[in-house]
Amino acid sequence: MKLKTKNVLMILLPVSLISSLIVSMIIYDVYQSQKRNSTLLIQAIAKDYANSMKLELEKPLFSVRGIADVLEDLVSEGAADRDVINAVLANTLKDNDNLFAAWACFEPNAFDGKDEQYVGKKGHDSTGRFVPYWHRDGEGLDFEALKGYTVEGEGDYYLQAFKSGEETVVEPYYYDAGESQVLMSTIAVPIIINGKTVGVVGVDILFDRLQEVGDGIKLYKTGYGRLISSEGLVVTHPDKSTIGEPAGEFVTGDAEKVFKKIKQKEVFTENVYSKVHNKKVLKSFAPISIGDTGTIWSFSTVVPQEEVFAELYSIMLRIAIISIIGLGIIAAVIYKVSSDIVNPITYITDRLKEIANYDFTYSEKENKSNLFSRKDEIGQISNATLTMKNNIVHLIREINENTENVAATSEELTAICQQTALASENIANTVGEIAKGSSQQAKDTEESALSVEEMGNLIEEQSQEHIKDLNKALIEINHRKEEGFDIMKTY
């Protein structure tokens, strides 16, 4: 792996890792913040609409309380009048479009003690009890006697309030209103005189107005709100086919947990998978406590998680793009810095390779390169390399000059050796002649003893002189030889 690549990777990888960690932490913090803020927003919306629903539900409750107070006063004072109460019930319907019916139900002879007089009359049954049921009939109003008020289940609208002596809200139910069935609920208030419940007055409420309120909710793109009864029935919903049916979370294993939180009047949000939407959704619940009935309904908002975090996803995408661009810029800067460092090193390496291969020729690159003018370490290395090359070239030149001097000295030494050889040859010839003379003298010994003695003395003298000359020549040869060796050692 080349040095430039190593530099880029060694710097870019830690930077990328650190950047990734920082970006991840930012995204996580943004996610948590977005989740928290979105949850708070959705819960705030749920609470706001829960309050609106509470007001809509308590409006008829206040009306019923007013009628109950009137009835208690009239009965207590012995001024009970069936026609008056019928008029009050009819006017209550006229003044409240969200009511389907208004009614009263008294125990036998508890209203005015005249039940026998009204047996079989309009608005009365065979008992004559005061049980008027005013309801809408097309564009007008009509009234008749209540039905099933003594039967458990069917008569719960009356029996619950009568037996408990408390205000009650009946779980939503379908009522056959002529050509169609309508979902409604009943709000009932007991009439208590001297501590004894003598009757109940109530109204049957329609959910059209509540549905209009719910339809006005706009949460993100497809989010919506729904009103849920105390038993988990859907009261209002954008999808009309779900109205009157149990809400999804109330038919699963989480129903008990959800019911518990609602009864504790807790505002909460759940991030769950919705089979209906086939995706994860955020569901918020806000309790609705209706008057003093003890009944707690809830308003729930439902928002797909992908819509809640759509802004977060957009932020994440922008952060990712910015991070990639940032890393690209960092990589480019690192590459440029590495190039500024590695390219001179590469150039110097190439020059050193040339020097290692005995290439000391002048290069045009040296003239064009700006490395030698740099003031940093690269410039110092470049100039040192150039100085080293020039010094090597200078040394080689000196070696060449010394070599030439050694060659000249060698030629001189060769000439001296030749002279020495010639002198040695002369000496040898002289010795030969001496030897030849000695042989001749030996032969003449027999001729003359005296001549031999004289000749012996002469030969001895001449031999000593020649030997001295030979020794001098040998000494001269050794001297010349030593000088030659000294010269060679010098170079």
CA atoms within 13 A of residue 229's CA, in its CB half-sphere: 19
d(CA 242, CA 28): 37
What does the block give as tokens for 440? 């001749």
Q: Which of 124, 192, 133, 130 is nearest to 157 (CA)?
A: 133
Q: What kind of fold does domain 80-206 have according to CATH?
A: Beta-Lactamase (3.30.450)
d(CA 402, CA 394): 12
pLDDT in tens, 366-381: 555 566 666 667 777 7
The matching CATH number, chosen from 3.40.1390.10, 3.30.70.270, 3.30.450.20, 3.90.660.10, for 35-52+211-311 is: 3.30.450.20
d(CA 199, CA 185): 19
pLDDT in tens, the chain (491 residues): 666 677 667 777 787 788 788 878 887 887 788 788 888 888 898 999 899 889 988 889 999 999 999 999 999 998 999 999 999 999 999 988 889 999 999 999 999 999 999 998 998 999 999 999 999 887 889 999 999 899 998 899 999 999 999 999 999 988 876 667 788 899 999 999 999 999 999 999 988 888 888 888 888 888 899 999 988 899 999 888 888 888 877 777 677 888 888 888 899 988 888 877 788 888 899 999 998 888 999 999 999 988 888 877 788 788 888 888 887 888 788 777 777 777 777 777 777 777 777 776 755 555 555 666 666 677 777 777 778 777 877 787 788 788 777 777 777 777 776 777 676 677 667 656 765 655 565 565 456 445 545 555 654 565 566 557 656 766 766 676 566 556 545 54
pLDDT at 292 (0 to 100): 84
pLDDT at 71 (0 to 100): 92
Q: Which of 18, 35, 2, 103 is nearest to 313 (CA)?
A: 35
d(CA 235, CA 219): 19
Q: Which of 228, 224, 208 is nearest to 216 (CA)?
A: 224
Cβ–Cβ under 8 Å, residues 210 and 53? yes
- Altogether, the residues listed in the chain come to a count of 491
pLDDT at 413 (0 to 100): 72
Whether this model's pTM surpasses 0.95? no
Query: Rounded to the nearest 10 degrees, what angle do helices 310-356 and 377-444 cross at?
Result: 20
d(CA 6, CA 338): 9
pLDDT at 441 (0 to 100): 54
Query: Sign (positive/negative) of CA torsion 229, 235, 239, 245?
Result: positive
